[in-house]
Amino acid sequence: MSGHSKWATTKHKKAAIDAKRGKLFARLIKNIEVAARTGGGDPAGNPTLYDAIQKAKKSSVPADNIDRAVKRGSGAEAGGADYQTIMYEGYAPGGVAVLVECLSDNRNRAASDVRVAFTRNGGSLADPGSVSYLFNRKGVVIVPKSGENGSVDEETVLDAVLDAGAEEVNDLGESFEVVSEAGDLVAVRTALQQAGIDYDSAEAQFLPSMEVEVDLEGARKVMRLIDALEDSDDVQNVYANFDASDEILAALDEE
């Protein structure tokens, strides 16, 4: 888990200071729209929508943008696009497995963007199923160490979530990552709320079951590919199974 956890920290920081803030907003809005279309526009009865809204609020997406996205998705307001989830699989340089999750209303455009990103950055697209078996779908909740209700330690978080189905709690530096089966995500998030513990996000993600160790140059190449993929408006999430030391990730942070 180490590389994944450290990379999660890096991504977390990156998102917070993302110069492409508009792009981050667009992704969060799209998540809300799709969640509302799939499970209805009432967050109380639609946990996926509830979590998508919470994440958008934490990322400072304006409330009226959130409301409009819910209305478009649920059909209360016209103009919603018919987004489909499309998964692409491939390899970054060095044999690192990459899963690309797209939400798109144009399958051809999404496929073209993803293919171009791979080929221009030393990677290659792979057949469906050739990479996905290296990842497991998990529930991931990010808990900041110091939130609105004061600071929390690992033991407090563990006590709150163990009976709700959490499998592990990882220290990400400034926050904790609580991992569970995807089906236990709502129970884990609810347990944190009941314990009065703040959380930044709660969502299903693909976590690697095995990892490929990379050096600084290897990590640089992987990150370059991930950045190129994330430049596409159709790409929602990119998952990769690389492991890099703290020193390497710190060096990448400074570049």
Mind listing the pLDDT tens digit for each residue in 44-53?
A: 999 999 999 9
What are 132's strand-pairing partners?
none
- The string over 157-177, giving b where at least 16 C-beta atoms fall within 10 Å of a residue's C-beta and e elsewhere, is beebbeebbbeebbebeebbb
pLDDT value, residue 173: 82
User: Percent of the chain, pLDDT > 90?
Assistant: 71
How far is residue 147's CA from residue 144's CA, in Å, rounded to a whole number?
6
Question: Hey, what CATH topology would domain 84-133+210-250 get?
Answer: Alpha-Beta Plaits (3.30.70)
| DSSP per-residue codes, the chain | -HHHHHHHHHHHHHHHT-TTHHHHHHHHHHHHHHHHHHH-S-GGG-HHHHHHHHHHHHTT--HHHHHHHHHHHHTSSS-----EEEEEEEEETTTEEEEEEEEES-HHHHHHHHHHHHHHTT-EEE-TTTTGGGEEEEEEEEEESEETTEE--HHHHHHHHGGGTEEEEEE-SSEEEEEEEGGGHHHHHHHHHHTT---SEEEEEEEESS-EE--HHHHHHHHHHHHHHHTSTTEEEEEE-EE--HHHHHHHHH-
HSE of 229 in the Cβ direction (CA atoms, 13 Å)?
A: 34
pLDDT in tens, 146-203: 877 778 999 999 999 999 999 999 888 888 999 999 999 999 999 999 999 999 889 9
- How many CB atoms lie under 10 A from the CB of residue 185? 26
User: Percent of the chain, pLDDT > 70?
Assistant: 92
pLDDT value, residue 2: 40
pLDDT value, residue 176: 92
pLDDT at 1 over 60: no
pLDDT value, residue 41: 94
Q: Rounded mean pLDDT of 83-87?
A: 93
Global pTM value: 0.87
* CATH tag, 135-208: 3.30.70.980
Domain boundaries, the chain: 2-74, 84-133+210-250, 135-208
- Fold agreement (84-133+210-250, 135-208): yes
Question: Hey, what CATH topology would domain 2-74 get?
Answer: Arc Repressor Mutant, subunit A (1.10.10)
How far is residue 181's CA from residue 204's CA, in Å, rounded to a whole number?
9
pLDDT value, residue 87: 96
Name residue 43's amino acid: P
What are 147's strand-pairing partners?
150
Give the distance from CA 2 to its chain's centroid.
Answer: 17
pLDDT in tens, 4-34: 555 555 665 555 555 466 788 889 999 999 9
Q: Are 133 and 241 in contact (CB under 8 A)?
A: no
Name the pairing type of β-strands 201-208 and 175-181. unpaired
pLDDT value, residue 235: 93
Q: Rounded mean pLDDT of 31-58?
A: 93
